[in-house]
Amino acid sequence: MKHLMKHLLALMLCSAATCAVAADISIKITKRYLNLPVSQKEKRSVMSYTINGKEEQRFVIRLSANPEYWVFSDMSAYKGKTVKISFEGDATALSKIYQDDQINGQDSLYKEKKRPQYHFSTRRGWINDPNGMVFYEGEYHLYYQHNPFEREWENMSWGHAVSKDLVHWEELPVALHPDKIGTMFSGSAVIDYDNTSGFGKPGKPAMVVFYTADNPDRQVQCVAYSLDKGRTFTKYNGGKPVIDSKEKWNSKDTRDPRVFWYKPSKHWVMVLNERDGHSIYTSANLKDWTFESHITGFWECPDLFELPVDGDQNNKKWVMYGASNTYMIGSFDGKVFKPEGGKYYFSSGSIYAAQTFNNIPESDGRRIQIGWGRVPQAGMPFNNMMLLPTELTLRKTKDGLRLYSLPVKEVEQLCTPVKKWSGLSSAEANDKMKEFYDADKLRIKTTIKLSHATEAGFNLFAQRMVGYDMNFNMLNGMFYSPQDPTSMELTADIYIDRSSIEVFIDGGAYSYSMERKPDRNNREGFHFWGNNIEVKNLEVFTVKSIWE
């Protein structure tokens, strides 16, 4: 507290029922973090940070003198400067704000009861869509929709984390803060190697990001660039939009620009969700965009990428993709996408708004996706998570071409095989699984074989990790039929973390994810069920935490 230079400028705003005090304090920044006390019980009020008369940040916060938990602002960019913190709400709690080189709660960080142990989640606050996924100079960048100040959605900013191996993540300061044009909605990132934008410097290509600025009136597309490997950004043209298409579509819903380089014609492509589908725009310089075409049938968070069929580089197809993991397969000439079949899905459950990495080296060649895991972590100072990074492949199936997804090979380094059995009855398998009763994280691979049973599955404390109904062909609520329609077997690769469960079926033909929700009254733990089923194969792996 002694680091604070406080100037309380209290302004009393009293009515009969309430007495709110708007005020400001000034703090000379000598430490990395400002720690801010919050409670979900308080209402949201506006706070701002002003430095040398210029407003740097403005957001709403449930500041509280009786904090339920603490959030923080990383102030490293402002070291040595005096920040005026103004608050329009009840200012009683202002004096509790303090700076420190640690966040409040650092000691228990990543050890919290529901903290995902091998999935990315943010230290504090809310996250949703992955944004700006790009590989550059040995780092995978994961930006994400983020409310740094509360465990619920608000104040959309771009949070930022980097990884060298797609598995261990380091959280960095917030990369894009809301501005006068709007809050920072979803978008993407490219590396402008040829300096088409002019943002780069000799030997220093710019990382260029595209985001939607959202305000009550409209959603517009804006550009920012970084010359320091994605750490800090300059908003192009002061954050003014490069695309404003509300009038054209007579709709506010124009958002989530997904940009990539289209090699054959040497131009940039932007896929943008506009009202009822995905539009294609092209550009030579990342600033001036021309509308080319539109395909209906998608909502939010577009993606568009090319994949070899069964790995054949001479036979490639394009995949157009929407927020709910539905996709179409077809052709793309740089301006128009033409579907060649229907609309399909390959993943369901808590996954949403997934995006794939740009700029993966050709020598690697993988199409790597990360999806938002809509997994609530009740009572935690953080909320929601990213699902495991997966590799997407396009394969010939009996139904035609289909997307498959499996966790990237880098995830293997976390898994240690500890037990393996075959040919068990469900009773025997349940007995073997007893020693893992208490596991807070685990990977289990299993193949079950039905014979007398039309319904079978595998539970964890009464929660159906696998629930297969061969009569209705339903697997955990969605239609599923194995590649061999006469097959009586189902293979599941199950990744259990503290607050989530992800299941990959039959080598990635289908996957789903869910919040981990044990029934506290259930004593069964791991439990295979189904009349006379055979647990043909059962493998158990321990999984290391990525935070150790």
Looking at the Cβ atoms of 274 and 410, the one nearer to ligand FRU is 274
Q: Minimum distance from CB of 183 to ligand FRU (Å)?
A: 8
**Is 192 considered catalytic here?**
no
CB-based contacts of 115, cutoff 8 Å, min separation 6: 121, 377, 380, 382, 498, 499, 547
Give the list of residues 6+ apart from residue 232 with CB closer than 8 angstroms, or none: 77, 175, 226
Task: Pick between residue 128 and residue 188 the one whose CB is nearest to ligand FRU.
Answer: 128
Return the residue of 167, 172, 328, 353 that touches ligand FRU, per CB under 6 A: 353
Which of positions 276-335 make contact with ligand FRU (CB under 6 A)? 300-301, 323
77 closest CA partner among 62, 48, 56, 58:
56
Question: What is the nearest approach in angstroms of ligand FRU to the Cβ of residue 153?
Answer: 7
CA distances 291 to 74, 263, 269, 328, 375, Å, are 39, 19, 10, 21, 36
For ligand FRU, the binding residue among 117, 186, 226, 254 (CB under 6 A) is 186
The smaller minimum CB distance to ligand FRU, of residues 302 and 389, is found at 302
390 binds ligand FRU (CB under 6 A): no
Task: Return the number of the residue (84 or 255) whose C-beta is nearest ligand FRU.
Answer: 255
145 binding ligand FRU? (CB under 6 A) = yes
**Among 47, 43, 44, which residue's Cα sits nearest to residue 59?**
47
Binding of ligand FRU by 503 (CB under 6 A): no
Task: Give the residue, chosen from 27, 38, 127, 156, that forms a contact with ligand FRU under the rule CB under 6 A.
Answer: 156
Task: Pick the binder of ligand FRU from 185, 332, 346, 458 (CB under 6 A).
Answer: 185
The residue from 24, 90, 129, 506 that is catalytic is 129
Q: What is the DSSP letter of 217?
A: S
Which of 117, 133, 223, 125 lies closest to 168, judged by CA?
117
Dist CA 207 CA 223 (whole Å): 11
Q: What track of x and - describes contact with ligand FRU for positions 247 through 266 (by CB under 6 A)?
A: --------xx----------
- In angstroms, the CA 184 to CA 175 distance is 10
Q: Are residues 270 and 283 in contact, defined by beta-carbon separation less than 8 angstroms?
A: yes
State residue 4 phi and psi, 5-degree precision.
-85, 135
8 Å CB contact between 84 and 58: no
Q: Toward ligand FRU, which CB reaches closer, 295 or 424? A: 295
Q: Interaction with ligand FRU in 80-139: which residues (CB under 6 A)? A: 128-129
H or E segment and range at residue 207 = strand 206-214
Binding site for ligand FRU (CB under 6 A): 128-129, 145, 156, 185-186, 212, 255-256, 300-301, 323, 352-353
* Residue positions annotated with a catalytic role: 129
